[in-house]
Amino acid sequence: MAIFVAFGVLAVTFVISRVVPSSPERLYAGARANPETIALVHQRLGLDRPLTVQFARYLASLIRGDLGESYATKRPILEDLRIFLPATLELVSLASFLALVVGIPVGVLSGAQRGRLFDRLARLISLSGVSIPLFWMALLLQLVFFGLLGLLPLGGRVDPVVSVTNHIETITGFNVIDAAITRNSIALLDAVRHLILPVSVLAIYPVALTIRMTRASMIEALSEDYILAARAAGLPESRVLFRLALRNALIPTLTVLGLTFAYSITGAFLVEIVFAWPGVGKYVADAILAADFPVVMAVTLVVTIVYIVVNLVVDLIQAAIDPRIRLG
């Protein structure tokens, strides 16, 4: 089924990229190209062929592992993704981790203390988190922590001076991991400082959504008969909440977390633009503005694959948590 999903997404995106009024041959040839050169580029790119032939050629290139090249930069898109995708995954992974370690415990306690002060505060925080525009929060945090306090950097992945004096050797593409592996403590500290603000902003929505989902699921789980029986048997409240009720309440929360993780890969482009973060979100945003459709197609394919893989992983985790939904 994953193959059919990927094919359908590619087909729709390919058709839209050809229907939208644009001039990819002019982008490829350059602003000063004469009409003869543009005509030659149009033919070289195969844009004079029927749409079905163009799509077949594109699929053949994908099968060979070729994502094409950018019309704007003339660089292979695969090489660009090897640079930009790890930067985005670093942000998204840490934001999702915060959603797990912050959102789930707060949601559990909020559901257990329904109607009390803690629950009201948690609901206020979660409602604010899903409502606040991320770009506004990013600018506000920059103003406070960089402009007023001078505690954290304004943007970028690493300080230019540190990148020269303590260059991070690329191993995984995650600066924190690469600096830790190579024991580059100065670069590690600098990379962490650059991550704090963008990760905090990107984590706002997943954390808030996780709190809301976990709270709602916990309220439903805590009303079940087996919870009442466990409490009547004298089991500790912490075990009732985090071992019995959370096991069933966690299933819908994991689904939302998985979808949020995949969505954040491209949804992070506003955060990446504000913090000058060289990730795939900014990469595809620039490509859309320039009508660089091979880049848009490639990123669409990557995000589709991420959605498919994340959904599969979530299904497997759910099956491990709840034997009733395991596949035969």
pLDDT tens-digit map of 76-133: 888 888 888 899 999 999 998 998 899 889 998 898 888 889 989 999 988 888 888 8
Based on the domain organization, do 212 and 124 belong to the same domain?
yes
Residue 299 lies in a domain: yes
What pLDDT band is residue 21 in, cutting at 50, 70 and 90?
low
- Across 168-172, 191-195, 252-256, the highest mean pLDDT is recorded for 191-195
At residue 326 the predicted structure's pLDDT band, cuts being 50, 70 and 90, is: low
222 pLDDT more than 70 = yes
In a shared domain, residues 240 and 321: yes
Indicate if the pLDDT at residue 321 is higher than 80: no
Look-up: residue for tokens 């071992």?
243
Q: Is residue 275 a contact partner of residue 196, using CB atoms and an 8 Å limit?
A: no
Question: Do 42 and 129 sit in the same domain of this protein?
Answer: no
Note whether 46 and 96 are same-domain residues: no
Tens digit of pLDDT for each residue in 154-166? Answer: 888 889 888 888 8
Tell me if 59 is assigned to some domain.
yes
User: To the nearest whole number, what is the mean pLDDT of the chain?
Assistant: 84
Give how many domains the chain has, as a whole number. Answer: 2
What is the spatial distance between Cα 188 and Cα 238, in angstroms, rounded to a whole number?
37
Whether residue 156 is contained in a domain is answered as no
Residue 141 lies in a domain: no
Q: CA-to-CA distance for 309 and 306, rounded, in angstroms?
A: 5
Q: Is residue 305 located within the same domain as residue 242?
A: yes
CATH of the domain at 318: 1.10.3720.10
Contact 287, 72 (CB under 8 A): yes
Task: Answer yes or no: do 304 and 206 share one domain.
Answer: yes
In this prediction, residues 140-144 reach a mean pLDDT of 93
Predicted pLDDT of residue 142: 93
pLDDT at 327: 52
Do 212 and 104 lie in one domain? The reply is yes
Inter-CA distances, 129 with 21, 177, 199, 273, 292, Å: 37, 29, 14, 20, 34
Residue 183 forms part of a structural domain:
no
* Whether 91 and 47 share a structural domain: no
- Residue pair 158/168 in contact by the 8 Å Cβ criterion: yes
User: Is there a single domain that holds both residue 24 and residue 123?
Assistant: no
Backbone angles phi, psi at 90, to 5 degrees: -65, -45
* CA 123 to chain CA mean position, Å: 24
Give the pLDDT score at 31: 67
- Does 243 fall in a domain? yes
How confident is the model at residue 145, as a pLDDT? 93
Q: How many other C-beta atoms are found inside a 10 Å radius of the C-beta of residue 123?
A: 15
Q: Is residue 165 part of a domain?
A: no
Q: Is residue 247 located within the same domain as residue 321?
A: yes
Range of the domain at 17: 2-63
One domain for residues 128 and 28: no
Instruction: Compute the average pLDDT of residues 305-315.
Output: 82
> What local confidence, expressed as pLDDT, does residue 121 receive?
92
Q: What is the DSSP string of 188-245?
A: HHHHHHHHHHHHHHHHHHHHHHHHHHHHHHHHHHTTSHHHHHHHHTT--HHHIIIIII
In this structure, the answer to whether residues 130 and 10 fall within a common structural domain is no
Is 91 within a domain?
yes
pLDDT tens digit string along 165-174?
Answer: 888 888 888 9
Predicted pLDDT at 291: 78
